Amino acid sequence: MAAHEIDYKVFGDDMQFVEIELDPHESVVAEAGSLMMMEDAIQMETIFGDGSQSSGGLMGKLFGAGKRLLTGESLFMTVFTNVGHGKKHVSFAAPYPGKIIPMDLARLGGKVICQKDAFLCAAKGVSVGIDFQRKLGTGFFGGEGFIMQKLEGDGLAFVHAGGTIYERQLQPGEVLKIDTGCLVAMTRDVNYDIQFVGGVKTALFGGEGLFFATLKGPGKVWIQSLPFSRLASRVFAAAGNGKKDEGSVLGGLANIFEK
C-alpha cells in the first residue's frame, strides 16, 4: 500500500509541534492523545493497529493491533482524513521537551527502527510494527533496547525525541556505543546489539546502567541527549524531597540538621 503524499511544517524550538497539510481524501495516522488542533472538514476515525492492514480483513487488523500491544502502546490509533474540497491542516504536539524528526522512508531504504515511544504520526500507509532483537538475552536484560518499533513504507513519518538530537552517519564497520535510552532511531542497515558494561565496579557504581547499545555501520543513527526516562527520574527524585525551600542555603542546612 503506497503511503499518502503529505506536506508538513514544524513549529517551535524546544516544545515543537508539526502541522500536516492534507489534500482532499489524504490521511495521516497518529498516536492517541497527540492531537493539538485541526481545521474544519478533518474527520477523525479510531482504528485497530496502524491502518496499513485495512485491506487485510479482521485478522490483519487484529495482527496490527497485537503488534502495538507488544510494544506497550495503545491498541488503537487515530486516522485524520480531509473530507473537504480544499487543503486542510491538522497539528500534532510533542509530549515533552525535545525535537520532532521528519523521516522520508522512501529516502531511508523503506525502513527505520526507533524506540517504542518515539513514534508521533505518519502518512497513512506507513506500517508501524515491532522489531525483535536476535539475541534473547537482550530482551531480558537490555531494558528499553529489546523491543523496538519499525516504520516501513514509502511515506513520511515523524519521530519525537528529548533534548538535543544528534544525527550520525556511520561508515561501514564503524562502531558507536550509546546509552540504551539515548538511542532514538536507526536505518535498516545498522547492526544493533546490546552489550554488558564490563567490570563489576563500572556496572555497580558507574551510574550509567549495566548495558550499552552497540551500533555498527553502515547507516544513519539518531541520538537524543535527554531520554524521557532520565528526565522523569530526576523529577521524581526532586519531588520526593517534599521541601519548598530546597533552593536556598538555609533550606539545605535545615535539611541536614533534620536528619
Q: Average pLDDT for residues 23-36, to the nearest whole number?
A: 92
Give residue-wise pLDDT tens across range 1-17: 578 889 999 999 888 99
Q: When comparing pLDDT for 238 and 172, which is higher?
A: 172
| Prediction pTM value | 0.80
Q: Provide the pLDDT for residue 88.
A: 97
Q: Could you give the domains of the chain?
A: 7-163 (3.60.160.10)
Rounded Cα distance between 37 and 227, Å, is 26
Q: Provide the pLDDT for residue 78.
A: 92
